[in-house]
Amino acid sequence: MNALEQISQSSMKAEAPQVEVGDTVKVHVRIKEGEKSRIQVFEGTVIAKKHGGISETFTVRRVAHGVGIERVFPIHSPAVDKVELVRKGVVRRAKLYYLRGRVGKAAKLKGLVR
């Protein structure tokens, strides 16, 4: 079991992004198309964080053209180039799955007042 822990520790990113549920983030993802590679930005609200350690993931939701889109990103994936924090959100839940049933202003979260 010790060998598995060493492998997982070595493949974890040194500076993992600090994202919390309720934050609005821009996730820069490296997309490989044939031999070329490009960066695609996915902006949305973090509605869930799961697991821990090397297998930690976070789910980002956005609405594009009236259709809800959710993507799950592994935090320690080499495909995730960087995660930018756009806005901190104030929430009282660990999972924000209730946002799936809301549209428009009802789907907005309170922001952090500084």
Indicate the domain borders of the chain.
Answer: 2-101
Per the prediction, the chain carries an average pLDDT of: 91
* Contact indicator for 32, 83 with CB cutoff of 8 Å: no
> Is 2-101 a CATH 2.30.30.790 domain?
yes
Which is more confidently placed, 35 or 53? 35
Predicted pLDDT of residue 7: 80
pTM for this predicted structure: 0.88
| Residue percentage of the chain with pLDDT more than 70 | 97
Q: What are phi and psi of 113, to 5 degrees?
A: -90, 125
How many other β-carbons are positioned within 10 Å of the β-carbon of residue 40? 10
- Helix or strand holding residue 1 (H, E): none
Minimal CA–CA distance to 54: which of 17, 3, 2, 5? Answer: 5
Q: What is the DSSP secondary structure assignment for residue 113, as one 8-state letter?
A: P
Give bridge partners of residue 50 from the DSSP assignment: 57
